[in-house]
Structure formats: structure tokens, C-alpha cells
Amino acid sequence: MAKIKIYSTPTCVYCISLKEFLREHNIEFEDIDVSKDQKALNEMVEKSGQMGVPVIDIDGKIIVGFDKEKISKILSI
């Protein structure tokens, strides 16, 4: 199973949609709230070069934003 980290904030509509999408497919993930965790925010920016959320790390593959097609392809769903 892929190791998935989602860097998100509680008020981000795309973050919420992404997490709902993964739950619908019974895919486990680690949700990291970058609005409360400065270290995680720095890690997200270092990995993605972006300040916007969501940023998804799937086994080291970084996706910025809720790109359903790309996520589905990587996870084979």
C-alpha cells in the first residue's frame, strides 16, 4: 500500500474534497495540518516549492492541488 501524506488546512475546500475522495476509495492517508505545524509547512514547501494546499506526497511523488486524474493513475483507482 502506498504511503500518502496530505499537507492541508481545515478551511481548504480542495483539501476536504481530496480527503473525501480518498476515503470513498478506502485509501489510508496521513493528514498534516500546516496551519498549526510550522515544521510541516516548511517540509511541504521544500518538497513542492509551493505555499498552496493541498500538497500530496504519494511514496515520494509530489502532486500540488487536487488532481484527481493524476492521483487515480498513481494509486491505480
User: What are the tens digits of pLDDT across the range 5-64?
Assistant: 999 999 999 999 999 999 999 999 999 999 999 999 999 999 999 999 999 999 999 999
Domains in the chain: boundaries: 4-75
Question: Do 56 and 5 form a contact (C-beta atoms < 8 A)?
Answer: yes
* Cross-strand partners of 8: 33
- The most distant pair of C-alpha atoms in the chain lies apart, rounded to whole Å, by 32
Q: In the prediction, which pLDDT does 6 show?
A: 98
Predicted pLDDT of residue 1: 76
Amino acid identity, residue 42?
A: N
Class of domain 4-75: alpha beta
Angstrom distance (rounded) from CA 43 to CA 32: 11
Grid cell digits, residue 60 = 515520494
What DSSP state is assigned to residue 60?
Answer: T
User: What pLDDT does 2 receive?
Assistant: 86
Residue pair 15/22 in contact by the 8 Å Cβ criterion: no
